[in-house]
Amino acid sequence: MKIKSIICCRRFEKDPETIAYSPANVDEVANLIQTQKNNNEMLVCLPVYVTSAYVLYDLDYNITYGSNSYIVNTKPFGFSKFYIPVKDVTLVQEADIDLDHH
């Protein structure tokens, strides 16, 4: 199980950013977002990791950092489709986080 991209979005100016972790690589995510923008569609559907309660997986909450490494305490349950308004996506970042070997 790997996190291949990190997606940040913001619904309202004063709200903190929502961070979603995706098994899709950054090129796939960027292409989906760009396609939706070009088609003037309001939502983009992205695969993101979720907990067993289908809540967005929070890597920072589920990780313990050591001096030179980290341990993933709880892995995601799986992934689900997450609909994000295209205009609210603020960042798509490439990631290479292996959740199985930490």
Task: List the structure tokens of 61.
Answer: 């909450």
Instruction: Summarize pLDDT for 10-24 with one digit per residue, the tens.
Output: 877 778 899 999 999
Task: List the structure tokens of 58.
Answer: 């929070």
The Cα 37–Cα 16 span in angstroms is: 24
Instruction: Summarize pLDDT for 7-61 with one digit per residue, the tens.
Output: 999 877 778 899 999 999 999 999 999 999 999 999 999 999 999 999 999 999 9
The domain spans of the chain are 2-98
pTM, 2 dp: 0.88
Question: Residue 36 gets which letter from DSSP?
Answer: H
Cβ distance 23 to 2 under 8 Å?
yes
Using a 10 angstrom Cβ sphere, with 0-12 exposed, 13-18 middle and 19 or more buried, the burial of residue 20 is buried
Q: What is the pLDDT of residue 102?
A: 62
**Residue closest to 78 by CA, chosen among 46, 51, 45, 102:** 51
The Cα 8–Cα 59 span in angstroms is: 13
The Cα 84–Cα 30 span in angstroms is: 13
Instruction: Summarize pLDDT for 62-88 with one digit per residue, the tens.
Output: 989 888 888 889 999 999 999 999 999
